[in-house]
């Protein structure tokens, strides 16, 4: 599997990673799946402190025992639950971040996190305080690098300009090309890496998932998604499937270092890894995809 550097850091990641949110909570299934991921060459595991109320981190911690040096662990912070209150409460304060990492380290059974990411962000936050928290954690050796997970260009710009982030995690696919407008060019210019999620658009661009396509995606109708799938068929009839086409599309951008692809089964895991070795899209094929109207539809909405 091709390896990429995250930004200008020392973190080297395989271009296909594992987004761990969809793993589930059954330890007897999750641990073997994580072991299989590592055996297949996946070294980037993306989680968050709120996934399954921290249980996701605990399962990763159990799975990587004896293999810590083989893994780049990425986790996230910023959301919290308040007793007696429904939903999540946004808290990017330094005090919260400095406490939250202690629990993440305990659950992950490690003394450092490779990439610690702010799990969101708004312009109303005390951004300087948030940055100072991450900078202090790096000085103390509790994290190796930090980044942000966000789809908001205005927030991303602030962190690009004011901090030393090495990565930005964003949703990006043929059906959601918003990052191409501003975010990806900015990251390319600044030497910051993109971590992609959602390359197959919640299944709308997955092989054999016409049912997902018919439901539409974001504000794109099911009819338009089906039409786009049909227009992509010339790219999938030879030696590349629809899912592989969708994955190769996002990997083609120079800012993208790794796709954090979700998987809840061995088959999905292997399909994701196989996509990395499928034929890369040519410049003509990339241009053809970009010319499809539905592919550009969602770029008009923020």
Q: Which residues are catalytic?
A: 51
| First-to-final CA distance of the chain | 34
Q: How many CB atoms neighbour CB 22 within 10 A? A: 14
Q: How far, in whole angstroms, is CA 186 from its chain's centroid?
A: 18
Question: Would you tell me the crossing angle of helices 242-251 and 266-276 to the nearest 10 degrees?
Answer: 50
Among candidates 195, 142, 140, which has minimal Cα distance to 165? 195
* Tally of residues, the chain: 302
Instruction: Report yes or no: 271 and 234 within 8 Å, Cβ to Cβ.
Output: no
CA dist 83 → 8, 54, 80, 86, 189 (Å): 40, 16, 10, 8, 43
List the beta strands (DSSP E) in 184-227: 193-197
Residue 300, judged by CB atoms within 10 A of its CB (0-12, 13-18, 19+), counts as exposed
Pull the structure tokens for residue 254. 């120079």
Q: How far, in whole angstroms, is CA 3 from its chain's centroid?
A: 16
Instruction: Report yes or no: 33 and 7 within 8 Å, Cβ to Cβ.
Output: no
Distance CA 120, CA 169 (A): 10
Distance CA 224, CA 208 (A): 17
Distance CA 186, CA 196 (A): 15
Q: How many CB atoms neighbour CB 278 within 10 A? A: 16
């Amino acid at each position: 599997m091709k390896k990429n550097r995250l930004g200008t850091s020392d973190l080297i990641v395989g271009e296909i990673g594992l987004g761990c949110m969809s793993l589930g909570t059954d330890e007897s299934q999750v641990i073997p799946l994580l072991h299989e991921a590592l055996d297949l060459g996946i070294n980037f595991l993306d989680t968050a402190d709120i996934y399954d109320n921290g249980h996701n981190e605990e399962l990763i911690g159990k799975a990587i025992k004896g293999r810590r040096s083989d893994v780049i662990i990425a986790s996230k912070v910023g959301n919290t639950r308040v007793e007696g209150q429904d939903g999540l409460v946004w808290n990017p304060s330094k005090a919260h971040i400095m406490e939250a990492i202690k629990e993440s380290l305990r659950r992950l059974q490690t003394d450092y996190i490779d990439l610690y990411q702010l799990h969101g962000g708004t312009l109303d936050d005390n951004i300087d305080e948030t940055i100072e928290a991450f900078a202090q954690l790096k000085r103390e050796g509790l994290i190796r690098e930090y980044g942000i997970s966000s789809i908001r260009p205005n927030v991303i710009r602030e962190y690009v300009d004011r901090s030393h982030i090495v990565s930005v995690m964003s949703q990006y696919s043929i059906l959601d090309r918003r990052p191409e407008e501003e975010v990806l060019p900015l990251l390319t210019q600044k030497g910051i890496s993109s971590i992609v999620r959602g390359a197959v658009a919640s299944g709308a661009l997955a092989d054999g998932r016409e049912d997902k396509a018919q439901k539409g995606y974001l504000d794109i109708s099911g009819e338009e998604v089906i039409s786009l799938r049909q227009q992509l068929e010339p790219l999938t009839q030879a030696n590349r499937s629809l899912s592989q086409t969708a994955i190769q599309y996002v990997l083609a951008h120079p800012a993208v270092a790794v796709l954090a692809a979700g998987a809840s089964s061995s088959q999905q895991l292997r399909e994701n890894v196989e996509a990395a070795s499928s034929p890369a899209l040519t410049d003509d094929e990339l241009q053809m995809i970009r010319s499809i109207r539905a592919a550009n539809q969602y770029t008009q909405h923020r």
